Amino acid sequence: MTPVSRETEVRLDRYLALLREWQAKTNLVAPSTLPHLWTRHVADSLQLLALAPTAKTWLDLGSGGGFPGVVLACALAETPGAVVHLIERNAKKAAFLREAIRVTNAPGRVHFSDIKDIVDRLDDPVDCVTARALAPLHQLIGFAEPVVRRGAKALFLKGQDVEAELTEATKYWNITPHLHASRTGGQGWIVELDHIERRR
């Protein structure tokens, strides 16, 4: 669905092999999705690149099993100066992410930390902030607001309840969301935000 270079494909293969290995002892993805890693998880992550084609510095909140953060890092490995910051507060998942970055030689930096601690401290200007299967939209917006205020774009992967989540989010935030239907089918959506302002 999103064409990648042969080098990127090799990196992604290494990453998925590692994920299957670790999945036996650490729950990284829903077990029912293991046979569909490429379509359910990798392609879902890769489609974000088309929405921020010039972004080099990415911040992935609650990276978990590495979607979309590790996938983006694999795809950006040939882009000079690119880096993906992966934030994860679960020690086992953070250890997995470090190993995934190592075996793929992708430009990622793992932060074993709470999101709020990193978002305020990160010195690098962030081009794009992402999250997938992490928290309700109004909470994600709260996490992302400091970096969006400094010029980043937010891209949040969401499911079929996106309208209800947006309705809830607008109680707390002034936002003008752009919705993109997921290319991977199903009822997935990408919520794009360029401006976030707390409601008074």
pTM over cut 0.75: yes
Which amino acid is residue 41, in one-letter code?
H
Question: By the 8 A CB rule, do 61 and 87 touch?
Answer: yes
Q: pLDDT per residue over 88-136, tens digit each?
A: 999 999 999 999 999 999 999 999 999 999 888 887 799 999 999 899 9
Reply yes or no on whether the pLDDT at 17 is more than 90.
yes
Q: pLDDT per residue over 30-65, tens digit each?
A: 999 888 899 889 999 999 999 999 999 999 999 999
Report the distance separating Cα 72 and Cα 93, nearest Å. 17
